[in-house]
Structure 1
Amino acid sequence: MKFTQKINVVGMKSSKGTLENGTGYDSTKVYALVDLDASKGTAKGMASSEFTLGTSDEFNAFKHLPFPFEAEADMEIVTNGKTQKTVMHALKPVARAAAPKA
């Protein structure tokens, strides 16, 4: 199931290298605020959740922005038949309105 969601990005981290066994890794982690499950009355508010977004090059497209920032994320819920996860495919910052001149 694909969908677009407006999110608050509170951090990003790029990671690229090679493990001791020779396996390479290359990704960008996006940390966004998500609502806590308040359905049982034991939680309230928000927490940061981690999503993987492409390669470490993705980080370079966003590192100049002031954090936190609001963005539209193209996401998809996928499953292996037993568990499900949310995958982030794309992230687009929402333009901020210019400050009014005095």
Structure 2
Amino acid sequence: MQYESTIVVLGAKSSKGDFNGRPFDSTTIYYQADLASGENFAGMVGTEIKWGASFNFEKIKNFKFPFAAKGKFEQVSNGRAMVTILNDLQPEKALEQKS
């Protein structure tokens, strides 16, 4: 199942290299999410999701954080667990870049 949602991007991290002979290459997006409602929960939290390879980090690294963006998400399952994947991220409007 695919869907779009507006998120507040709090930060991003790029990881690329080799560990014990195994290459890795990813971008992690940190975004604002609501806490579950309940007696002992209130407010918001920052959570993370992977967004493809490290080249995606280059697309947003000079933006002023936090910023609103439209995310294109996909929910997939291996038959046991459901996983959400971020396929694309588009800032909602032209953003001011860092100096």
Question: TM-score, normalized by length of structure 1?
Answer: 0.87
The 1:17/1:36 distance shift into structure 2, 3 A limit, reads same
Measured in 2, the distance between the counterparts of 1:66 and 1:46 equals: 20
Partner in structure 2 of residue 100 of structure 1: none
Structure 1: which 4+ aligned runs deviate by more than 3 Å? none
Deviations 1:76-100 (A, max 9, x none): 1111222112110000001059xxx
Aligned residue among 57, 60, 63 for 2:58: 60
Aligned-partner SS, 2:63? coil
Q: Which runs of 5+ in 1 are unaligned?
A: 98-102
> Paired residue for 1:12?
12
Structure 2 unaligned regions, length at least 5: none
Query: Structure 1 vs Structure 2: percent identity of aligned residues?
Result: 36
Aligned to 1:61, what secondary structure does the other structure show? helix
- Structural RMSD (CA): 1.3
Quickly say closer, same or farther: Cα 1:5–1:82, change in 2 above 3 A. same
The two structures have a TM-score, normalised by structure 2, of 0.90
C-alpha distance in structure 2 between counterparts of 1:80 and 1:70, whole Å: 31
